[in-house]
Amino acid sequence: MRRHLIHIKQEKYPKTPMTFEEIIEVYKNKEIASKFIMSRYEENDKLYIDTIVEENFAYSLFVYPTISNAIKGRNHMEQCNYIVDGTFKIVPISNKYKQLLIIHIIHADHAYPFIFILMSHKSESAYKNFLQYLQSNVIDLKPTSVITDFECSLRNAFKRVYPTVKTVECWFHYTNALRRKDTQIPKFNRDKNAKNLFPKFMYLPLLKPANIIEAYSILKQDAMDVKFVNPSNNTENFFKLFINFFERQWMKKFREN
């Protein structure tokens, strides 16, 4: 069955390009271009925009014209809020492709993906280049705010192209990072006190900014009281490694900002 499906796919779709140069060549084919460049819903608008190859990075850009046209038609006073996130699992299997970056616009409490960028690198210069290309050739996003993960290069690129944008870090990515660290601490999940205290660190960003440092100080003090006896019969603290990580990764940046 699997082989049969693969055979059907091979007959219907072109061979997957393994480099950005191959992407350019694929879309030069008129038959392929007629099927895969144009939007299904906007007769005269493209879905595939362009592939840019520079010395230090490359990317291919795809934009849903229905949504981009709606954004262009907005009142200039309306706010434009976006979510930007990358995925790695669905990119073509090639060492030339690093991630697929997706830009969603938030409307009526829903997120609608409409810009897709297949990228070779996650560098600030690559992010800045595609944002400037979008702005000059496709659509000026004019973002009021952008929700991203904690990747500095992406946030910096938005700030450079759109100096007035408000960048907001994603709580989902924050809690995932804490959970990954949680699994690295020996016996952490076996202690009742540690398990009860840990979620409170995840809720810190939901407090008012003025209250976060004070709340963290209280949590840190409580955490340092949660201890266990190691195999050498010495008393150790469950949260010591976690607190060091949390201070370095989160609180230092929060205090600086």
Of 119, 152, 169, which one is at a domain's C-terminal end? 169
Q: What is the spatial distance between Cα 158 and Cα 145, in angstroms, rounded to a whole number?
A: 10
The DSSP symbol for 50 reads E
Percent of the chain surpassing pLDDT 70:
89
CATH classification at residue 99: 3.30.420
pLDDT reading at 256 higher than 80: no
**pLDDT-wise least confident of 1-10, 75-84, 134-143, 220-229:** 1-10
8 Å CB contact between 118 and 100: yes
Closest to 199 (Cα-Cα) out of 221, 223, 229: 223
Helix (H, G, I), strand (E, B) or coil at 48: strand
- Give the pLDDT confidence of 173-193 residue by residue, as tens digits: 888 888 888 777 766 667 788
Residues 64 and 151 in one domain: yes
Of 169, 204, 228, which one is at a domain's C-terminal end? 169
CA angle 47, 49, 55 (to 5 degrees): 145
pLDDT at position 172 is: 86
Q: Which residue has the tokens 């929700």?
A: 147
pLDDT at position 10 is: 65
- Which ranges in the chain belong to alpha helices (H)? 2-12, 20-26, 30-36, 65-72, 124-137, 152-161, 171-182, 192-203, 209-223, 240-246, 252-256
Residues 231 and 189 in one domain: yes
* End-to-end Cα spacing for the chain: 55
Output Rg (C-alpha) for the chain, integer angstroms. Answer: 23
Confidence class of residue 129 from pLDDT cuts 50, 70 and 90? very high
- Give the pLDDT confidence of 58-108 residue by residue, as tens digits: 999 999 999 999 998 887 778 999 999 999 888 888 889 999 999 999 998
Q: Is residue 8 part of a domain?
A: no
- Structure tokens given for 128: 């800045």
192-203 helix and 171-182 helix, angle to the nearest 10 degrees: 160
Residues 180 and 138 in one domain: no
Residues 144 and 216 in one domain: no
Helix (H, G, I), strand (E, B) or coil at 20: helix
Query: Which has more pLDDT, 194 or 47?
Result: 47
- Residues near 226 by Cβ (< 8 Å), separated by ≥ 6? 191, 193, 194, 197, 237, 238, 239
Q: Is residue 130 part of a domain?
A: yes
Q: Is residue 194 part of a domain?
A: yes
- Give the pLDDT confidence of 4-19 residue by residue, as tens digits: 666 666 667 778 899 9
Q: Is residue 40 part of a domain?
A: no
8 Å CB contact between 82 and 101: no
Of 116, 145, 169, which one is at a domain's C-terminal end? 169
Q: Which residue has the tokens 């952490």?
A: 188
Q: Is residue 237 part of a domain?
A: yes
Instruction: Name the residue range of residue 243's domain.
Output: 171-256
In three-state form (DSSP H/G/I as H, E/B as E, the rest C), the secondary structure along 152-213 is HHHHHHHHHHCCCCEEEECHHHHHHHHHHHHCCCCCHHHCHHHHHHHHHHHHHHHCCHHHHH
Residues 175 and 233 in one domain: yes
For the chain, the domain total comes to 2
